[in-house]
Amino acid sequence: MTSLTARTAVTPARSLGSRLRHHGRRLAVLLGLPAVLAALWWIVSERAGNFFFPPLSEILAEFGPTWFDGRLGHDLLPSLGRLAAGYALALLLGVALGVLIGTRPALRAFAEPVLEFFRAIPPPVMVPILMLFLGIGTTMKVVVIVSGAVWPVLLNTVEGVRGIDGLLHDTARVYRLRPLTRLRTVVLRGASPGIVTGARQALSIAIVLMVISEMFAANNGLGFSIVQFQRGFALPEMWTGIILLGLVGLLLSLIFRAVERAVLAWYRGQRQAQRGGSR
């Protein structure tokens, strides 16, 4: 009895230790490459002696004075607001149209050539055209983001809806589920892996288009500031804007991963159960 109690007490401790070692190794892997790249950038830039490639130490010294003296509110927050609005609209529009097209084969056959045509048009090409119709305000920038970010969501939603097992639809009909209940529990749930894949792709596209839209006839935003620094030959400040943009993208990616883990927890559990059963 005493031996069993001792083993029971040791097992959680070993389990905790193994988890800590696992998380430590994972953190080292995640931070290892960025640390190496930052050190390499520091060494190369210090020795370069190039006006267009200032030392990293000088760039970091300019980061605080450049962005923490009012520019975060003047430039970063408007950019994030446009990004959030454009990304949200792209998700809503892409999922709604994707479900509609994916559940109706006739509509899918009719719309597929049109979708492929518009998907092939690079969104930055639409910026001058949208400026003619929408002006140079926030609306134009949001529409630019939507025009590029909607396609991954739309196409992945269509494929996700098409890939749902027909047995699930038959079961829903047998149980006489209401249309909204069937949409929520069968269609959206079954297509959620594809929808999340499209949303992940759309996020990176939305960030790129946010910057591009702000480089055309804007008066604030990250893209506007980077261009203004470049035109004024304020190269260290320009590089701080690029670094800030990368940090924003990293933070949004981490937030997206957290949301993805919560949304697709059931899917990962199902896959693990299937792998366990196959053994």
Query: SS3 sequence, 45-109?
Result: HHHHCECCECCHHHHHHHHHHHHCCCHHHHHHHHHHHHHHHHHHHHHHHHHHHHHHHHCCHHHHH
Cα dihedral 254, 260, 124, 209 sign: negative
Q: Read off the pLDDT of residues 149-189 as tens digits, 9 standing for 90 and up.
A: 999 999 999 999 988 887 777 777 877 878 888 888 888 88
Q: Read off the pLDDT of residues 199-254 as tens digits, 9 standing for 90 and up.
A: 999 999 999 999 999 987 788 899 999 999 999 989 999 999 999 999 999 999 99
Q: Read off the pLDDT of residues 211-224 as tens digits, 9 standing for 90 and up.
A: 999 987 788 899 99
The whole-angstrom separation of Cα 249 and Cα 241 is: 12
Domain boundaries, the chain: 1-48, 58-278
Domain 58-278: CATH architecture, name and number where available: Orthogonal Bundle (1.10)
The whole-angstrom separation of Cα 160 and Cα 101 is: 11
Which DSSP string do the residues of 95-155 spell out, in sequence order?
HHHHHHHHT-HHHHHHHHHHHHHHHTS-GGGHHHHHHHHHTTSHHHHHHHHHHHHHHHHHH
Q: Tokens standing for 184?
A: 């929520």
Q: Tokens standing for 247?
A: 């940090």
